[in-house]
Structure 1
């Protein structure tokens, strides 16, 4: 089993990991969501929605202590308005505050785009591949989707515990299963973008 540290090898586990996601109301720190371990007791990540910064299309993923690990923002302007894709960029943040581009996500901006999938590229780009490294399959608002690599392997799966769903009648609680070796920071950076795209807890 090989590790794939997109952002940090500290968040690559040698075993499959099940993490829980709980949405925060918009009135609490600008919205967003909290990621906990399988017991629900320890906070692993926190994603701050754009309301906390007053800036749209601007998300921050933090560790359990509140330190920023990843900044995600959407590229806007005239170039995007004319493009068939909306493009998001994820930047890792170090302790000095410097930013390094680590992934790009393309969201279809037009119903005319063939194969309307959301695709993610790891940065810097490798010259030999197809121009993308991962894609989203399924439908995030239904809590039934996967992040899949270019070979078709599922690297993370979003789902809902059926018993919890019946009890809560809500999709504010869901699980993410991350496969061994995958960078959990990267996975939740992508999930933060999906949350925003579909107008959920991180959206203003």
Structure 2
């Protein structure tokens, strides 16, 4: 059933694979404050990259790029008085359409900092009208801070699993290098757009 759902891409069908994919996330050198991270395959070929606030010069804003450096998603945290009074903080993910206009793809809600814990799940909603699926809601289960969590759909099926190999932990911390297993057909660009936001929330390599 998961394969059927994944037939409809969220960002682009170009980033949907017919088989399960394992990709690796490596943060940029520490000397680049808030520089973001790079996503590679098993052959260490770059697939995506994320620019953090140290590169963009803006806090609470991130850009996901493809292997050629083309922007795919802009993630921006919603601000203003309304959010300040709200119990949740919200991020929005946008992509450019063929006319160059920004189109809202997804929104991600996190609990207020004072309430942030493993018992308060982070929820993601697909906002794009191109995603013709009534079950366009996802949730983070587990602990992203320790790189041990999953992105699950509304039926509770894991579409992506984030983890760290034991041998990697002996060489560097899981926050520097970890892997992401993505189920067949799932939009990889969407997954790493979500991961970019999680990285920022948990004081990762994207944050200044």
Common fold by TM > 0.5: yes
Kindly state the Cα deviation for residue 172 of structure 1 after the two structures are TM-superposed.
0.4
User: Within the alignment, does 1:105 sit opposite 2:100 as a pair?
Assistant: no
Question: What corresponds to 1:46 in structure 2?
Answer: 49
Mapped partners of 1:24, 1:137: distance in 2: 26
Q: Which moved more, 1:161-170 or 1:8-17?
A: 161-170
Question: What corresponds to 2:59 in structure 1?
Answer: 56
TM-score, with length taken from structure 2: 0.89
Kindly state the Cα deviation for residue 168 of structure 1 after the two structures are TM-superposed.
2.6
Q: Write the mapping of 1:109-128 to structure 2, written as runs, cut at 5 A.
A: 109=112, 111=115, 116-124=120-128
Q: State the number of aligned residues.
A: 201
Q: Which moved more, 1:91-100 or 1:141-150?
A: 91-100
Question: What corresponds to 2:154 in structure 1?
Answer: 150
Question: What corresponds to 2:86 in structure 1?
Answer: 83
SS in 1 for 2:152: strand
Mapped partners of 2:149, 2:116: distance in 1: 23
Kindly state the Cα deviation for residue 53 of structure 1 after the two structures are TM-superposed.
1.8
- Contact 1:26–1:32 at 8 Å: present in 2 too? no
Mapped partners of 2:121, 2:56: distance in 1: 29
Seen in structure 2, the aligned counterparts of structure 1 residues 77 and 143 have a Cα distance that, compared at 3 Å, is same
TM-score, with length taken from structure 1: 0.90
Mapped partners of 2:96, 2:33: distance in 1: 21
**CA deviation vs aligned residue, 1:113-169 (integer Å, no higher than 9, x gap):** 9x611000001479x968x60000011111100000010000000001111111334
Superposed CA RMSD in Å reads 2.4
Q: Which blocks of at least 5 consecutive residues in structure 1 are unaligned?
A: none
Seen in structure 2, the aligned counterparts of structure 1 residues 94 and 38 have a Cα distance that, compared at 3 Å, is farther
Mapped partners of 1:27, 1:99: distance in 2: 32
- Contact 1:143–1:159 at 8 Å: present in 2 too? yes
Seen in structure 2, the aligned counterparts of structure 1 residues 29 and 13 have a Cα distance that, compared at 3 Å, is farther
Kindly state the Cα deviation for residue 26 of structure 1 after the two structures are TM-superposed.
4.8
- Contact 2:10–2:128 at 8 Å: present in 1 too? no
- Contact 2:162–2:179 at 8 Å: present in 1 too? yes
